[in-house]
Amino acid sequence: MASNAPEEMTPAEIESGYFNNNAPPKSLHKHEALARAFIDLHVEANRRVVLVTSGGTTVPLENQTVRFIDNFSAGTRGATSAEYFLEQGYAVIFFHRQYSLLPYSRHYSHSTNCFLDFMEEAAPSSTGSGDPDHGPIVVRSEYQDEMRDVLRKYRYAKRNNRLLLLPFTTISEYLFELRSLAQLMQPLKTNALFYLAAAVSDFFIPRDRMAEHKIQSSELPAHLLNKQGDNDASNNDETIDPEDIYTGGIEAQPPTHSKKLIIDLDPVPKFLHRLVDGWAPEGSMVVSFKLETDPNLLVYKAQTALKRYSHHLVIGNLLSTRKWEVVFVTPDAPYERWIRVPKSKRSKSLSGAEDQVGLAEIKKAEGESMATKADGQPSETALEGVEIESLIIPELVKLHSNMIAKHEGGKSQ
Ligand code: PMT
Tens of pLDDT, residues 182-231:
999 999 999 999 999 999 999 999 999 999 999 998 888 888 876 544 44
At 18-37, the pLDDT tens digits run: 999 999 999 999 999 999 99
d(CA 329, CA 170): 29
* pLDDT of the residue at 306: 98
Residue 237: pLDDT over 60:
no
**Would you say the pTM of this structure is higher than 0.85?**
yes
Fold of the CATH domain 11-121+148-205+268-412: Rossmann fold (3.40.50)
CA 273 – ligand 1 centroid, Å: 15
Domain ranges of the chain: 11-121+148-205+268-412, 211-264
* Whether the CB of 198 sits within 6 Å of ligand 1: yes
pLDDT tens per residue, range 50-83:
999 999 999 999 999 999 999 999 999 999 999 9
**For residue 265, what pLDDT band results from cuts at 50, 70 and 90?**
very high
Contact status, residue 171 vs residue 201, Cβ threshold 8 Å: yes
Query: What pLDDT does 398 receive?
Result: 98
> Where residue 152 falls among pLDDT bands split at 50, 70, 90?
very high
H/E stretch holding 390 reads helix 389-412
Kindly provide the residue ranges of all beta strands, DSSP E only, lying in 186-312, ordered along the sequence: 192-196, 203-204, 266-267, 285-292
Q: What is the C-alpha separation between 173 and 169, in angstroms, rounded? A: 7
**Substitution site in 95, 291, 322 for ligand 1 pocket (most atoms within 8 Å of beta carbon):** 291
Query: How many whole angstroms from 165 Cα to the centroid of ligand 1?
Result: 19
Does residue 286's CB lie within 6 angstroms of at least one atom of ligand 1?
no
Cα–Cα dist 405/403, whole Å = 5
pLDDT confidence of residue 3: 53
Least confident piece of the model among 83-87, 121-125, 286-290, 369-373: 369-373
Residue type, 321: T
